[in-house]
Amino acid sequence: MKIQISLILFALFSIMLFAGNIDYADALKAQGTGLSPKSFGKATSDVVCGDKLCSEIPSQDIEKISQNNNYPKLISETSVETLSNNDTFVLSADSITKTIDGKNLEMYGYNGQTPGPLIKVKQDDTVTVQFSNNIDFPTTVHWHGLRLDYTSDGVPGITQDPIQPGDTFEYNLKFPDEGIFLYHPHVRTEMQMEKGLYGNILVESDKSPPQVDYEIPLILDDISIIDGSLEKFDPDKITKTLMGRFGNTMLINGNSDYSLEVKQGDISRFYLTNTANTRTFDFGIEQYKMKLVGDDASHYEKEMFSDSVIIASSERRTVDVLFDNAGEFNIIHNTPEKTYILGRVIVSPSVIEENNSDFYKTAKNPAIIQEIDPFRKFFSEDPDLELEFDLKTTTTTAMQSDHPEMSDNDAMAMDKHEPQLEPIEWEDEMPEMNEMSDDENTNWILRDVKSGKEGFDIGYQASVGDVKKIRLVNSPDSAHPMQHPIHLHGQRFLVLIEDGIPNENLAWKDSVLVPTGSTVDILVEFSNPGQWAMHCHILEHAEAGMITEVTVNP
Ligand SMILES: [Cu+2]
């Protein structure tokens, strides 16, 4: 009897393992058959039509859904949790083993997978999340970009205590803004995100269903794999605080060999998110132009075409691509030095029935223009707060005498850094210095230029209804100038001007990349009361002090 039960359990387990892997191609094959895409074998994605799996809907109904209700097909590698107003969703952080690039890696995941489930909701809905911490480290969940109640913002020391292993916490989420958002931990974020704790939230409006054929979230990341394992972390201190941890393996949706299949003539809407610890991506698809549709938390005032899009840690972009030629096209990350292949798009030949020539016209977005209009009178005001970035570090010489193994090249690179300022450091240019840096010998600083106060001592306050300009100064004279993506929790802002050049195409944002040596003005709408973090989203920088707190009084 016992043997029989074991055999049954083993069989069930094998089926579960097998079923966990669904391929987009299989899902496509499954469409209209009434069968789960899982029955079509190994693979990696799930296809969602409206609120259901496409495979659960007869094919004629898929057509109806696509054509009558304008629901695009959603292509996701992870499970999709479509939630309705007032739903409760159960989420856990788990220890998992994930195979990447042929190596079995000890990682973390949400609900057993990395990236975590794609949470799909309607704008203005409310959802409760019952969260359990099943990993061996305290954690929290931060809902990046959501203007929710601050008690659910997930920031230790500001809004909640870390959730201990085995403990639970209830989060109440609100979605006032349309677009793609992300959730991730806010405890040892540099370790926990690198180990796989992140997922997307897709917030859609009933008013304007996207006029595209597919919706495809793409999470860009890099991880550091050394000798077949994830590069080790020190449980007690933050390492690589100088540059942040660069990975050697590029990922899309947790996969080092990402592949997407679409049909010629179809329009794909990509929701891009950068979850890398430090790496900035310049994302593109070979031979295709992208229509830039939306930024972090809204659409743009007007659509624009571009060959690629620069996206820093925690930023998001919405871009549309019309695949008008059949073939295989690389998804790339292009730096001045190097082109990385992140994956590929396979466009299968098809008779193009629709005339999609309108795709190449760029439209204005009157709703966003009108929404921004009342804020334009503030554009010329003086900054209410000027924040400069700085670094306190043991001197190069001291580091060298402490670490005689450090090469002169690194020391020279540090010295030479200033004269050859690059707006963005695409790679770890000083690996040895970076390796030696930690949160004791290298601290990043946000400083209020007016008061000279730093970090949490700044104590910036605003009130609900205030519209204030904040100037972000990334001084070329600091000890180690480099770019910093700055994220403000719980509010939204416009990026007005960078180095004297006004931004002619505004959109609401929650994170902004301030390139090396640049000054950027943002206009913040303080709409959400509470205690909110503002920090660099190079995760090692935030952990090494580059963070402050903003109070928004009711
Ligand atoms: Cu930074």
Q: What Å distances lie between residue 175 and 154, 169, 300, 346, 546, CA to CA?
A: 16, 19, 19, 34, 28
CA of residue 88 to ligand 1 center, whole Å: 35
Question: Is residue 127 within 8 Å of 89, Cβ to Cβ?
Answer: yes
CA of residue 512 to ligand 1 center, whole Å: 11
Does residue 174 belong to any structural domain of this protein? Answer: no
Closest by Cα among 471, 469, 395 to 433: 395
Q: How many domains does the chain have?
A: 2
Does residue 5 belong to any structural domain of this protein? Answer: yes
Choose one of 9, 43, 70: the last residue of a domain: 70
Amino acid 68: pLDDT: 41
CA of residue 484 to ligand 1 center, whole Å: 4
Domain coverage including residue 47: 1-70
Closest by Cα among 550, 429, 440 to 481: 429
CA of residue 157 to ligand 1 center, whole Å: 20
CA of residue 172 to ligand 1 center, whole Å: 29
Give me the residues near ligand 1 (ion), CB cutoff below 5 Å.
Answer: 484, 536, 538, 541
φ, ψ dihedrals at 377, nearest 5° = -65, -15
CATH assignment at residue 425 = 2.60.40.420
pTM: 0.86
CA of residue 458 to ligand 1 center, whole Å: 18
CA of residue 541 to ligand 1 center, whole Å: 5
CA of residue 352 to ligand 1 center, whole Å: 47
Does residue 62 belong to any structural domain of this protein? Answer: yes
CA of residue 169 to ligand 1 center, whole Å: 29
Amino acid 393: pLDDT: 87
Choose one of 70, 87, 105: the last residue of a domain: 70
Question: Is residue 198 within 8 Å of 119, Cβ to Cβ?
Answer: no
Closest by Cα among 310, 269, 324 to 291: 269
Amino acid 373: pLDDT: 98
Amino acid 55: pLDDT: 53
CA of residue 209 to ligand 1 center, whole Å: 36
Does residue 8 belong to any structural domain of this protein? Answer: yes
Which residues are registered as beta bridge partners of 174?
126
Q: What Å distances lie between residue 423 and 241, 346, 483, CA to CA?
A: 19, 34, 7
Amino acid 47: pLDDT: 56
Does residue 230 belong to any structural domain of this protein? Answer: no
Choose one of 53, 70, 87: the last residue of a domain: 70
Does residue 373 belong to any structural domain of this protein? Answer: no
What does the pLDDT profile of the chain (554 residues) look like in tens digits? Answer: 343 444 444 444 343 333 333 333 333 333 333 333 333 233 334 455 555 555 554 443 444 344 445 679 999 999 999 999 999 999 999 999 999 999 999 999 999 999 999 999 999 999 999 999 999 999 999 999 999 999 999 999 999 999 999 999 999 999 999 999 999 999 999 999 999 999 999 999 988 788 899 999 999 999 999 999 999 999 999 999 999 999 999 999 999 999 999 999 999 999 999 999 999 999 999 999 999 999 999 999 999 999 999 999 999 999 999 999 999 999 999 999 999 999 999 999 988 766 777 899 999 999 999 999 999 999 999 999 999 999 998 755 445 544 555 555 555 455 444 446 789 999 998 899 999 999 999 999 999 999 999 999 999 999 999 999 999 999 888 888 899 999 999 999 999 999 999 999 999 999 999 999 999 999 999 999 999 999 999 999 999 999 999 999 99
Does residue 315 belong to any structural domain of this protein? Answer: no
Q: What Å distances lie between residue 118 and 10, 165, 180, 248, 466, CA to CA?
A: 29, 24, 10, 26, 34
Does residue 30 belong to any structural domain of this protein? Answer: yes
Amino acid 413: pLDDT: 52
Closest by Cα among 279, 515, 469, 476 to 390: 476
Closest by Cα among 163, 179, 257 to 217: 179
Amino acid 479: pLDDT: 82
